[in-house]
Amino acid sequence: VKELVLDNCRSEDGKVVGLSSDFENLEFLSMININLLSVSNLPKLNKLRKLELSDNRISGGLEVLAEKTPNLTHLNLSGNKIKDINTLEPL
């Protein structure tokens, strides 16, 4: 699987659930409007280039993206609870 769209599939605990290292070939992942609070338990996705996280409730903890998605070139965080641009500094 190279592309996975989970838009509007609600996360009950506010975290990424069900994604594992089995999805290591993902290049595009869309999780728009799924009630995410955190990306802390996102698996390592070395090939991921595009990540859509708009319209969630993420307010921080984005430093894990630098470690778990080293080839990311496109990130959409619009419509989240990020209040300070410094939250993006680890990226």
According to the model, what pLDDT value does residue 15 have? 81
For range 72-79, the mean pLDDT: 96
According to the model, what pLDDT value does residue 35 have? 93
Whether 78 shows a pLDDT value over 90: the answer reads yes
Handedness of CA 82, 74, 41, 87 (dihedral sign): negative
Whether 21 shows a pLDDT value over 90: the answer reads no
Q: Where are the domains of the chain?
A: 1-90
What is the residue-averaged pLDDT of the chain?
A: 92
What CATH number belongs to 1-90? 3.80.10.10
Q: What percent of the chain has pLDDT over 70?
A: 100
Where are the alpha helices (H) located in 7-86, listed in sequence order? 63-68
The model scores a pTM over 0.85: yes
According to the model, what pLDDT value does residue 68 have? 94
